[in-house]
Structure 1
Amino acid sequence: MIEQKQLSEVIELWKTNKKQYVKKSSFAAYMLLIENHLLPVFGNNFVLEESDVQKFVFKKLEAGLSHKTIKDILIVLKMIMKFGAKNKWLEYTPFDIQFPTEREKHSIEVLSRADQKKIMNYIQEHFTFRNLGVYICLSAGIRIGEICALTWEDIDTDSGVINVRQTIQRIYLIEDGKRRTELILDTPKTKNSIREIPISKDLLRILKPFKKIVNPSFFVLTNDAKPTEPRTYRSYYKNLMKELKMPELKFHGLRHSFATRCIESNCDYKTVSVLLGHSNISTTLNLYVHPNMEQKKKAIEQMFKGLR
């Protein structure tokens, strides 16, 4: 008979197994959730009841964690439990965990058309490679890690396309109980994130002269062999927005602004989804497709027109 193991022992064995199959950044994210949330609460358990996990969820909600973070923790816990059950080290019956209904609607922050124009005009008149990154994000909707990892080689001015192939991120590593961080250059978030984005005419006009003279292997934001990392670029962006007296907007708001402008221009949702590199169209629809009052009125009018 196989001996039952504590969850902490199963976690150690699961870690060794999982490390072979996932990206370094994903593994680092799992480790952080395990160390900060799962081990302190469940590490000594041989058995895990659904009621224990439900209690854990309520405690984490009280502590201010978002639904998404808690769901991410539960995904990791489920992987560990399934692995333990497969090897007969512990018993696992799938949990049916309930979350209280979220009352607040999370609205996304976007730039108004006027503010977006103001920023883009300013960058055209005050060119720096760092400013160019903001212009590219507003014109192509790429993520902060993707713009930090973009090289001149990824920009094809002949075919008018930006190739998004890699991302930069700083990950937390926990090894032998010690924590450290590491900057890694890796493939993007999902396979859909590897994508081609057409370059707008205005952006092409800015990029073409540089393409003839730059080193193709250099990073666009630094025009150097060494990249800038997301947190450094985020603080640069914050200062730029302050200087331009813009409303406070997270860097990711540039991506939201790009998507919103696409939707406003009646671009079809599937195309917007592909441009953003979303894994599926429902992500795009949930985030960006919220009919305004004008569109709602139009729908009601059309419906009754058909009934007359």
Structure 2
Amino acid sequence: MAKRRPSGDGMVRKRKDGRWEGRIVVGHKDNGDSIFRYISAGTQKELLRKLHQSIETYRGVDLREESGMPLSQWLDRWLEEYAVPSVRPSTLEGYRGYIERNLKPYLGDKPVGKITTEDVQQMYQELREHGRQEAHPRYGHRLAGGTIRRIHGVFHEAMDAAVREKLVAKNPAEGIALPKKQTTPKRVLNDSQLERFMEAIQEDTVWHDFFYTELTTGLRRGEICGLMWLDFDEAHGTLSIRRTVHAQKSGRLTTGETKTGTGKRTITLPPSTARLLAERKSKSYSEWIFPDPLRPERPTNPGSAYIRMKTLLKRAGLPSLRFHDLRHTFATHALAGGVDAKTLSGILGHTQASFTLDTYTHVTGDMQKRASEIVGDFMTELLGDDLRPWENGENPARAAST
């Protein structure tokens, strides 16, 4: 016979199959009826332990009736109500991909209010082992640790919103053990490679100006594709970065705001780039600085820029790069050339100079050579041309000690 325990353990009873079952009130429906959470265990002692744990979890929480909706329904709602108004189209497309490919197949049918940390941990483990639908040459069907972390970021945001909406008592994505972040060495073009790439673009009359501007400004791909002539101040030689262009899977191009608040910025162009754009402007009949070569009323498609870059790299006999590596190349050579981190941070649109230093500095062979020459010049100036005077017959250190 069911009974209410005075200690606040909830309703407990022994079922006909011998297991113990209890329930606690975790919220209320729109009509005022209680929403119960049922818990079972093999023994009364184990049940009471679980009940105490659940009571602490739901203390001060009054879940809404919608906590019973499937996770898939909540994720769709979160996308429309929370993500759409606040993220860029390309970011939103990534969110949708993670939700449809990874989250819904594993937990989509489970009520959002009943998802546990254990459920989430198990899901990430399954995704790590079998999350890739098509086998990858290197990873097979395994998902890389970085991908798991990005999926987690989306899910964590969605469940934070669920807590605020009183659909869950706490975020089940908290306290999850995630794969270690694997940092792939960033690739940059060294001095000789950069020279070869510049020679390759010199022969490309359609794309030369685009890639020359990229290599002398370090703009993000969407930013350079989104440049309009109203952004170029010819008199002062400056360029204002105000928007980005994104290509959706459908092929449709959309424009949006820059990646961060500091992404909106005005940069001073190198004189050669300012002259190049001024000459280009005098011959242009499009509002876009770099219009689509076939449809000048439209901006250049970021995907087309990537494909052309690959072609030029291959033509120059250079290793394959991501488009973002051109940005790395600009930043690394700028720092090596003496541009201070604070100034470079402003050019790149970063919020902090420390991020610029941590992310965009790479020691190339050319930089090591220059460093050794600097040290060599310093030691020569300090000790004279003969850096090893003891070869003349006497060790100066030993002589000094006598």
For Structure 1 versus Structure 2, the TM-score category normalised by the shorter chain is 0.7 to 0.9
Instruction: For 1:249 and 1:85, locate their aligned partners in 2 and report how far apart those are by CA, in whole Å.
Output: 42
Aligned counterpart in structure 1 of residue 197 of structure 2, from 115, 119, 124: 119
Which AA in structure 2 matches 1:209? E
Quote how far apart the aligned CAs of 1:19 are: 5.3
Q: What does 1:187-206 align with in structure 2 at a 5 Å threshold?
A: 187-206=257-276
1:30 aligns with 2:86: no
Q: Does the CA contact (< 8 Å) of 2:200 and 2:312 recur in 1?
A: no
TM-score w.r.t. length of structure 1: 0.82
* Residues 67 and 266 of structure 1: CA distance in aligned 2, closer, same or farther (over 3 Å): farther
Instruction: For 1:50 and 1:282, locate their aligned partners in 2 and report how far apart those are by CA, in whole Å.
Output: 34
* Residues 24 and 208 of structure 1: CA distance in aligned 2, closer, same or farther (over 3 Å): closer
Residue segments in structure 1 that go unaligned for 5+ positions in a row: 173-179, 302-308
Instruction: For 2:251 and 2:242, locate their aligned partners in 1 and report how far apart those are by CA, in whole Å.
Output: 23
Which AA in structure 1 matches 2:162? G
SS at structure 2 position matched to 1:169: strand
Q: Which moved more, 1:273-282 or 1:156-165?
A: 273-282
1:280 aligns with 2:358: no
Q: Which moved more, 1:17-26 or 1:244-253?
A: 17-26
* 1:192-215 residue CA offsets vs partner (Å, 9 max, x unmatched): 222222211222332332333423
Aligned counterpart in structure 1 of residue 151 of structure 2, from 73, 78, 86: 73
Q: Does the CA contact (< 8 Å) of 1:152 and 1:220 recur in 2?
A: no
Which AA in structure 2 matches 1:171? Q
Instruction: For 1:122 and 1:8, locate their aligned partners in 2 and report how far apart those are by CA, in whole Å.
Output: 49
Instruction: Flag the structure with more relative contact order, 1 or 2, with Cα contacts below 8 A and sequence separation at least 6.
Output: 1
Which residue is equivalent to 1:255?
327
Task: Specify which structure has the higher proportion of helix.
Answer: 1
1:225 aligns with 2:297: yes
Instruction: For 1:72 and 1:293, locate their aligned partners in 2 and report how far apart those are by CA, in whole Å.
Output: 35
Instruction: For 2:253 and 2:196, locate their aligned partners in 1 and report how far apart those are by CA, in whole Å.
Output: 33
Which residue is equivalent to 1:9?
73
Q: Which moved more, 1:229-238 or 1:252-261?
A: 229-238
Quote how far apart the aligned CAs of 1:140 are: 0.2
Aligned counterpart in structure 1 of residue 177 of structure 2, from 62, 80, 98: 98
Which residue is equivalent to 2:188?
110
Instruction: For 1:267 and 1:71, locate their aligned partners in 2 and report how far apart those are by CA, in whole Å.
Output: 34
Aligned counterpart in structure 2 of residue 146 of structure 1, from 200, 216, 223: 223
- Cα RMSD for the two superposed structures: 2.9
SS at structure 1 position matched to 2:312: helix
SS at structure 2 position matched to 1:107: coil
Quote how far apart the aligned CAs of 1:121 are: 4.7
Which AA in structure 2 matches 1:70? I
Instruction: For 1:127 and 1:290, locate their aligned partners in 2 and report how far apart those are by CA, in whole Å.
Output: 29
Q: Does the CA contact (< 8 Å) of 1:137 and 1:255 recur in 2?
A: yes
Quote how far apart the aligned CAs of 1:293 are: 6.7
Quote how far apart the aligned CAs of 1:221 are: 4.5
Which residue is equivalent to 1:41?
106
Identity of aligned residues (%): 28
Instruction: For 1:201 and 1:43, locate their aligned partners in 2 and report how far apart those are by CA, in whole Å.
Output: 56
Rg: which structure is higher? 2
Residue segments in structure 2 that go unaligned for 5+ positions in a row: 1-27, 30-64, 130-140, 379-402
Quote how far apart the aligned CAs of 1:141 are: 0.1
Which residue is equivalent to 1:268?
340
